[in-house]
Amino acid sequence: MKCPNCGGQMGLEDAVCPYCNTPNAMAAKHQSDMAHFRQEYQRTQADVMQKTSFMQRHGSWLIVLSVLLVALIGGIVLQACAWDIGHSIRTRNVERGMVEASQVMDSYLEAGDYGKFLGYYDANNISLDYENPYQGLRSAANAYVNLIRDISTLNDPNRTYSPEHLASVYGYLAEDLNRIFTLEEQFTYNTDKYLPADKRVYIEDIRDRSTAIAKAYFGLTDEQIRDIPNMSTKRLAKLIEEGIAS
Residue 3 falls within a domain, yes or no? Answer: no
Residue 170 falls within a domain, yes or no? Answer: yes
Is the same domain home to 115 and 89? no
Residue 10's pLDDT is 62
Residue 188 has pLDDT above 60, yes or no: yes
Mark which of 49, 74, 95 sits at the end of a domain.
95
Helices (H) and strands (E) in the chain, counts: 11, 0
Residue 37's pLDDT is 47
Residue 41 has pLDDT above 50, yes or no: no
- Give dist(CA 141, CA 133) in Å, integer: 14
Is the same domain home to 186 and 77? no
Q: Which backbone phi and psi does 33 adopt, to 5 degrees? A: -60, -45
Residue 4 falls within a domain, yes or no? Answer: no
- Give dist(CA 80, CA 17) in Å, integer: 24
Is the same domain home to 122 and 179? yes
Is the same domain home to 103 and 59? no
Residue 222 has pLDDT above 70, yes or no: yes
Q: How confident is the model at residue 43 (pLDDT cuts 50, 70, 90)?
A: low
Domain hosting residue 217, numbered range? 98-245
What's the total number of domains in the chain?
A: 2
Residue 31's pLDDT is 59
Rounded mean pLDDT of 229-236? 95
Model pLDDT for residues 131-183, shown as the tens digit of each residue: 788 999 999 999 999 999 998 888 888 888 899 999 999 999 999 999 999 99
Is the same domain home to 143 and 226? yes
Mark which of 95, 120, 137 sits at the end of a domain.
95
Model pLDDT for residues 48-98, shown as the tens digit of each residue: 556 545 544 554 545 545 545 555 555 555 555 544 545 454 555 555 668
Indicate the range of 41-45, 56-60, 104-108, 224-228 predicted with least confidence: 56-60
Residue 1's pLDDT is 53
Residue 225 has pLDDT above 80, yes or no: yes
Residue 1 falls within a domain, yes or no? Answer: no
Mark which of 67, 95, 123 sits at the end of a domain.
95
Question: Average model confidence (pLDDT) for the chain?
Answer: 78
Is the same domain home to 75 and 135? no
Is the same domain home to 132 and 187? yes
Give the residue among 245, 217, 201 at the shortest CA–CA distance from 147: 217
Residue 6 falls within a domain, yes or no? Answer: no
**CA 150 distance to own-chain centroid:** 18
pTM: predicted TM-score of the whole model, two decimal places? 0.62
**Maximum CA extent, the chain:** 88
Residue 47 falls within a domain, yes or no? Answer: yes
